[in-house]
A = this chain, B = another copy of it.
């Protein structure tokens, strides 16, 4: 039963073997990778989120939801502070009546006394029914899942952003927002999506792209400084999934020429605070703090509104600096605040799904003609 970490890690990164470790009884148990869900599972998850959102509007529905995970305890183990992500998980669990705890001091606790990660995770997990994990180390969530896989009291693990590579639940909320926005236009299949900004280092944009491979968008167009373009691993993966991939580095030129093609524009922040050299067209340039967000080339200027359709969906994972000015807020396709709320609903849906309660929730919503 006990397997080594290396075996566990290599198995979950292998599409064929992944499922036996990450799912139990047909439900996700460890949520570690954006690409671990099937198309049908993603659609069911979105429907569950919508059911929860609509049930929550009425007193009866709210009471029904609050009983779903009553007595259930969730630990949010955040080694890296992320107030909004943590609060979104806590709110999602709360909607279903679960109790959440935020533990953010693991750095200073028993690790310092020489305890192993496995012991520490297993000890803390003893008091909970599920754990949500955020850590600067890409491997931490996987190590936590491995430690629990090998224990005699495993509990589900959900990654809330692991290192620089994955941000599964951000991808799920972004996908949910896209799907919802395109609901009366046939979903994301056939749509042309534009992702703007720092793709290379942005977990949200990368993770969303991985989820989209389960669907049939017509194309994903990345517009970014040359140095922050998606790597070959990502573009290759998308192309193998028959998604047309285009790259360019001039937002204005592209919008003037082809802006009306865009079904959705997903803006991201140029994370200049991390820069150690290299901005578009200025190789070896070393950015300073004062330049944070200063590059107008990747700002969706208010005057660009004339260049995109009124039904183009405008998204941003937040926080933003200047790349998506407030003048866009009354554009009909501006769904940024909906994204934030959707984060709470999709996380609630994930908790419900993991605990096998999603079917019951959707059935209740259907009976009340909310779905």
Contact = CB atoms under 8 A, between A and B. Distances in A.
Contact of A62 (B62, B71, B109): B71
A132 interface: no
A337 interface: yes
A105 interface: yes
Interface string A300-329: 000000000000000000111100000000
A340 interface: yes
Interface string A99-124: 10101011011100111000110111
Nearest to A342: B126
A154 to B, nearest CB: 12
Contacts of A108: 81
A318 B123 contact: yes
A21 interface: no
A206 B152 CA distance: 30
A114 B83 contact: no
Contact of A115 (B82, B123, B319): B319
Contact of A83 (B71, B81, B105, B269): B105
Given A110-B319, A319-B113, A75 B103 contact: no
A334 to B, nearest CB: 11
Given A126-B337, A337-B151, A87 B66 contact: no
> Number of copies of this chain in the oligomer?
3
Contact of A122 (B321, B337, B344): B337
A109 B104 CA distance: 14
Nearest to A108: B81
A240 interface: no
A113 B340 contact: no
A293 B114 contact: yes
A94 B99 contact: yes
A201 B101 CA distance: 31
A241 interface: no
A105 B337 CA distance: 22
A198 to B, nearest CB: 13
A84 B123 contact: yes
A127 interface: yes
A298 to B, nearest CB: 14
B127 A109 contact: no
A292 interface: yes
B319 A269 contact: no
A134 to B, nearest CB: 13
Contacts of A88: 127
A174 to B, nearest CB: 15
10 A-B pairs with the lowest CB-CB distances in the bound complex, closest first: A91-B127, A115-B319, A110-B319, A114-B321, A126-B340, A83-B109, A62-B71, A87-B127, A126-B341, A114-B292
Interface of A: 62-63, 66, 70-71, 73, 75, 81-84, 87-88, 90-91, 94-95, 99, 101, 103, 105-106, 108-110, 113-115, 119-120, 122-124, 126-128, 151-153, 269, 271, 273, 292-293, 318-321, 337, 340-341, 344
